Structure 1
């Protein structure tokens, strides 16, 4: 059986039913983790935070995320995607709204840690969930649609967050940044309630999908998983902790480091153009300018993922974009004008965000079942540790030097290292394939 045996109308129906909800949820998850970057434009002054204190608090989200990621994904496999993903959304939305009540560094640190713990398992859970619904040949494009919500969260979230801060200031006596946290947290809770009634664990449980179509789709995916299991013995939980999984975690660490360094500090970079170049922006203008790189990244990401699917090639596509993103970070703040700096940052966003959907097509080539749930959690948790180090080190270097440039150079180094590791992994896999082919050839000769 192949994807040709599945009517395109069936896959289109599944996509139209599930993807809008998943994209909204991922949009909110990314917004609730990075909206602190917009809050910092006024929150840091209100609460007396240094760049280091802000960076530490922003990054503690990812310590909670790291510690609870794998357990969360194992529980997802046990309880089912619908129940567990809904639990994740409701708890993170409630804690995101509680950010409105931060009073100082300690409460800031605690709530950021709890927000990460609550959201742990969401993105790899979505990847696992999509693996229950879409054949492998479709997943690169499908994951790109989901991950498009990340740059879109900046594209739409940047002006939205700054508008809420600017025009919500004084509502019921709240500072603008407190109003923003409260509104965006409530929106997430509402989305979680809706998601419970839309998400379904697998095709054969969907009342809106004809039984014959559901069985045929589920059978195709099961056959693909069985083929991978036969080749790699990939259902074993031990596979989730193999060297290849940890290497993928390191690659994702470098890619994510660049994403979070830009994500948490881009509003401050744009605001800093005032001192560097003598240009002045209000909060809404900062939000709109911040959105530009992510608008272009969104437009490029989907065709790039589609091209990777069409060629059924991942490594070269991934290496090209990681090298582009890493090189662009290094020069973006050295170009001598705000326009050229934004051009460099745009290339950075394009490189990084085009990398991620392609990257997530690598783990399913050797992981299935429980090993996939745990392995995706390991990769995502290791990668997202960069979300702690990127804002903390960027803030520390800014306090030490008065500039964000040293922090951006560190981000460039990690992103470029990811590109090198992609090529290393490609070489290792090619060697393994040649060795396996040689063993099979010798076995045929013996027979």
Structure 2
């Protein structure tokens, strides 16, 4: 049966079953991969509870080390994403995971600020292509009308990583002295090893494109290949498809600035939350359990938020409202004088930060295609990470050293999220004015 011969009624019958089958095959696996990716980049927050003293890091130095990860991440982002498009997700993601798993484990052997900075930088280089690569990969497999929900499912891995990883990291910190290693060294070694194993499995498990999917029935494979081809052709007819087209598109810059606020919030919580919560006197394991609560709240609410975004086919206001909620949550956290108020604030912030991302990542592929989509996604991720991942941790660490607590840092994060909310709302106004002018 040729693609052109698929009757509309047959296509309507095929769509739900094919999307379910693809979801069952791809989504759980990439959630596990992103879980490990995020764990390997933010477990330094738990390690820093004792590592900083052991290797002589101030809070400001720790902030530089946490942030310098993103210098490498930014430098390699676009080349890595273009490489994925050229050589295929299966080979490229497998290679990246093996390399960054080894580097993450090697962080157990840092001896001072400079070795810490170096390993964080090269870890950023290795991880650079994974997240934007998966966002691009999903655009190969899921029609746009299903993409926010599946992106949300993929991105539950970030709060899940904090939710599940926090108690694990807290428990590993208690291995202090075992085999003459510190607890933070065990943390890096134990949490780096599964990444290498999953990287090897990725090579054999992932499929590059629908037309290569032997696990789909022929009719299913033909329908999905044809649907994605029609979507690409429709976008190519009315959107930019070259790398330069993405670079000079002001919408890419605007989305990068919106993403910067959400990244600042994400890494403020991922890297600094254990130290912020620790001041209330919890043990390492208790700290891990308490730190999991805001992430559990985020996992549930972000999926519901993304489902509503898909149901209404609305992206911009879903991003703006979520960023606004995150900014308010950070303000509450900065004012918190008890653990309960802090957890409430962090829960609201966690919801907003994570709920904003799936509809946001559904937006670039609405106006970019081909190489432009690969480049645009990488640019948004890189520029957003420059502010959110690099500057954010450094500012928080510096403000902590100057003021003696984390309140000023949380207020700074709140401000970036409120700016993101305003920019996302402005993006919507611009789009609506364009639609009105066209209709007239």
Relative to the length of structure 1, the TM-score reads 0.94
Q: Which residue of 1 aligns with 2:410?
A: 408
Q: 1:42-73, CA deviations, whole angstroms, 9 ceiling, x for partnerless residues?
A: 11111121100000001110010001100111
Q: Which residue of 1 aligns with 2:308?
A: 307
In structure 1, distance between residues paired with 2:432 and 2:186: 53
Residue pairs, 1:134-145, within 5 angstroms:
134-145=142-153
| Residue 155 in structure 1 maps to residue 163 in structure 2 | yes
Q: Which residue of 2 aligns with 1:43?
A: 51
Superposed displacement of residue 436, structure 1: 3.3
Which of the residues 84, 97, 110 maps onto 2:92? 84
Whether the 8 Å contact between 1:51 and 1:395 is mirrored in structure 2 is yes
Q: Secondary structure, in 3 states, of the residue corresponding to 1:132?
A: helix
Residue pairs, 1:269-284, within 5 angstroms:
269-273=276-280, 280-284=281-285
In structure 1, distance between residues paired with 2:103 and 2:376: 27
| Residue 240 in structure 1 maps to residue 246 in structure 2 | yes
In structure 2, distance between residues paired with 1:310 and 1:251: 23
Whether the 8 Å contact between 1:329 and 1:344 is mirrored in structure 2 is yes
Which of the residues 104, 116, 124 maps onto 1:108? 116
In structure 1, distance between residues paired with 2:15 and 2:345: 43
Whether the 8 Å contact between 1:204 and 1:211 is mirrored in structure 2 is no
Q: Secondary structure, in 3 states, of the residue corresponding to 2:141?
A: coil
Q: Which residue of 1 aligns with 2:215?
A: 208
In structure 2, distance between residues paired with 1:5 and 1:219: 15
In structure 1, distance between residues paired with 2:14 and 2:133: 25
Q: Which residue of 1 aligns with 2:288?
A: 287
| Residue 230 in structure 1 maps to residue 232 in structure 2 | no
Q: Which residue of 2 aligns with 1:392?
A: 394
Superposed displacement of residue 5, structure 1: 5.0
Whether the 8 Å contact between 2:319 and 2:356 is mirrored in structure 1 is yes
In structure 1, distance between residues paired with 2:328 and 2:290: 22
Whether the 8 Å contact between 1:252 and 1:418 is mirrored in structure 2 is yes
In structure 2, distance between residues paired with 1:36 and 1:432: 45
Unpaired stretches in structure 1, ≥5 consecutive residues: 274-279, 439-447
Relative to the length of structure 2, the TM-score reads 0.95
Residue pairs, 1:10-409, within 5 angstroms:
10-166=18-174, 168-232=175-239, 234-241=240-247, 242-273=249-280, 280-385=281-386, 386-409=388-411
- CA RMSD, Structure 1 to Structure 2 (Å): 1.3
Whether the 8 Å contact between 1:18 and 1:198 is mirrored in structure 2 is no
In structure 1, distance between residues paired with 2:432 and 2:301: 29
Say how many residue pairs are matched: 430
Q: Which residue of 2 aligns with 1:419?
A: 421
Superposed displacement of residue 434, structure 1: 2.9
